[in-house]
Structure 1
Amino acid sequence: MDNAIPPVVPPGRMSGSGQPDLLLAGGVRLRAWRESDAPALAAACLDPDIQHWNRPGLLSEAEARLRIGRWRSRWQEEAAAIWAVAPAGGGEAGGGKAVGLIGVADLDPRGGSGEILYWLLPAGRGGGTMAAATVRVSRWAFDDLGLHRLRITHSTANPASCRTATKAGFPLEGTMRSALLHADGWHDEHLPARIAGDG
Structure 2
Amino acid sequence: MRSYIIFLFLILGVLTVRAQRCDDKDFCDKDLYGEYDYRSQSNYAQVYTGDTVRVKVVVYSGQNYRIFTCAERRLKDVFFRVIYPEKRFKRAFKEIKKKQVPIYEKDKDGNFLYDENGDRIKTGTIFANDTVWGRDLVTSESVVYDSREAEEPYWEASIHKTRLIIIESIIPPFRKKRNGCIQIMVGRKYKNASQFRR
TM tier, shorter chain? under 0.3
> Which is helix-richer, 1 or 2?
1
> Which is strand-richer, 1 or 2?
2
TM-score, normalisation: structure 2: 0.25
TM-score, normalisation: structure 1: 0.25
Higher relative contact order (CA 8 A, sep 6+): 2
